[in-house]
Amino acid sequence: MSRPPATHCKRGHPMVGDNVYSPPSNPDRRNCRTCIVARNEARDRRACLDHHVTIASLRAELAATRQQLRAQRRVIADLERERSRLASIVNAPRVVTHRRRADGGIGGKRERREMRSIAA
Ligand SMILES: [Zn+2]
């Protein structure tokens, strides 16, 4: 002979509607969802205390990580600016001076000869 279904759980929560949880593996069971949630939260709090983790320490860690991320993004942005600056130098048309230098240095006869051979 089976008992009629309880109207309240042992902690006094009404056993109606969404507050009744039946595990898929055991559909005949009727568990109090409020108690399950409270039990899980208490377990999570204990686990956090065991690891000396608090919401405050997690928030502090998150803030520090975000700050690192912002700093890394600034470095990336600086490198991007430097890269495009260097690219604009590399892609800029060459300036050929026409200074005459006996030693054939930069802008001298030898360089102009080299430039002509490249152009040819
Ligand atoms: Zn309950």
Q: Indicate the helix (H) or strand (E) that contains 25.
A: none
| Ligand 1 centroid from CA 11, angstroms | 5
pLDDT at 45 (0 to 100) = 84
65-99 per-position pLDDT tens digit: 999 999 999 999 999 999 999 999 888 777 665 55
pLDDT at 35 (0 to 100) = 97
| Ligand 1 centroid from CA 72, angstroms | 49
| Ligand 1 centroid from CA 32, angstroms | 5
Amino acid identity of 29? R
The domain locations on the chain are 1-53, 54-94
| Ligand 1 centroid from CA 23, angstroms | 15
Amino acid identity of 24? P
pLDDT at 11 (0 to 100) = 96
pLDDT at 19 (0 to 100) = 97
Q: Which residue from 37, 54, 58, 56 is spatially nearest to 45, judged by alpha carbons?
A: 54
pLDDT means over runs of 10, the chain (120 residues) = 84 96 94 96 85 84 96 97 92 66 60 72
Residues, Cβ < 5 Å to ion ligand 1:
9, 11, 13, 32, 34-35
